[in-house]
Amino acid sequence: MSSTYGRITLDLDKLVYTETLTPELAAKLVLSKEPTAAANTLISVLYIIGAIAAAAGVVLLKPTAITGLVIAAVCFGVGQFIRFKKWAHLDILALALGIGSAAGLTGWFALEFGEILPAIAINGFATGVTLVMALAFRSRFLAALVPIGIGTMIGSGGAYWHASYGIFVREAAVTIALFVPIAAALWALAMKVRHPDWKPMATVAARMAFIIANFGFWVGSLWGDHVGEYFMVPNRRAEGMGYSEWLDLRNAFKEQALYIPDAVFAVGWAVFAVAAIALGRKIGNRFLELAGVVFLAINAFTQYFEFFKDEPWALIFGGIALVGIALALVRWQMGQRPVTT
């Protein structure tokens, strides 16, 4: 039987002064310290930004499909050479080159076939490339992008505009039906696999799939869902359709489509979150338990303000409830003990 204790910060000078530690033991702890997270993060960011900036510069100099293919080949070759040489201090650079390789190959495919293939095919190719590069470079970061890529194939994604970020889910029910089994399968795989690379990759991908499933519940709880609208109603801009023509098609689809009310998603989300908390506590999965608590709170606040809007008294009681939830989470966190395996 073994226990995991995580990371803590100790003031060695204070512990020696209070005679909690001997000077000799403190000296041994200093020798075993790891590099600071800030330094590692800075180096990683410089590697990734430098590699991506260089690749982007080449594309801007010669913006053709073949340029993307050449960049992909060069990045892949150099990245795999670093891995073959086992230069541990360049691991992050190898990952950056893997990202550049995936981006270059996807860019080539989009420029070469973007006008003749539908968006789902382009996104599917990008997702497949990301999966291959994740496996080739043993990358948890790229593994996390694979579920996101699958989401783009069914109309989910993110957006950025001036000083604002957003997420969108166009098929709430399909997203939930797809990503809950994906998350469960990846978690089962992570439990069985003991390989030091595959296990964390499967875990990260499972967590991302779980988060995307919750986004499906979130969007569905706000607007409900006409199942299949993303697939059955043409893209107005891609098809060059007028707004009134597109709106007629959309309304005609909604009249005969299966509609799931927002209340069904709200209740289902609550049940799903509570189940995640219970399962997380049972199997000792801290992420599943904590994520369940977070999304249950998000659901509660979403429905609270959807129902009561922005009434002043609603804000007052909502703020008090938020403080109460925070205190409950602090008490819950303080009650945690090292996980025994």
Handedness of CA 165, 170, 175, 177 (dihedral sign): positive
- According to DSSP, residue 295 is labeled H
Is the separation of the CB atoms in 289 and 332 below 8 Å? no
- Please, which residues bridge with residue 259 across strands? 226
Tokens at 132, concatenated: 């291959």
pLDDT, position 18: 86
Instruction: Please count the helices (runs of H) and the strands (runs of E) in the chain.
Output: 15, 6
What's at 175, amino acid-wise? T
Tokens at 154, concatenated: 């069914």
pLDDT, position 120: 86
pLDDT, position 341: 35
Tokens at 124, concatenated: 């599917």
Is the separation of the CB atoms in 299 and 218 below 8 Å? yes
pLDDT, position 44: 61
What's at 108, amino acid-wise? W
- According to DSSP, residue 89 is labeled G
Which portions of the chain are predicted below pLDDT 50? 1-4, 337-341
Mark out the alpha helices in 18-115 (DSSP H runs).
23-31, 37-61, 65-85, 91-113
Gap between the Cα atoms of 167 and 273, Å rounded: 20
Alpha-carbon distances of 321 from 172, 248, 307, 334, rounded to whole Å: 28, 44, 16, 20
Reduced to 3 states (helix: H, G, I; strand: E, B; else coil), residue 75 is: helix
Decide: pTM greater than 0.85.
Answer: no
What's at 217, amino acid-wise? F
Q: Which DSSP helix (H) or strand (E) runs through 79?
A: helix 65-85
pLDDT, position 1: 40
Which stretches of 154-218 are assigned E, i.e. beta strand?
Answer: 156-161, 164-169
pLDDT, position 340: 38
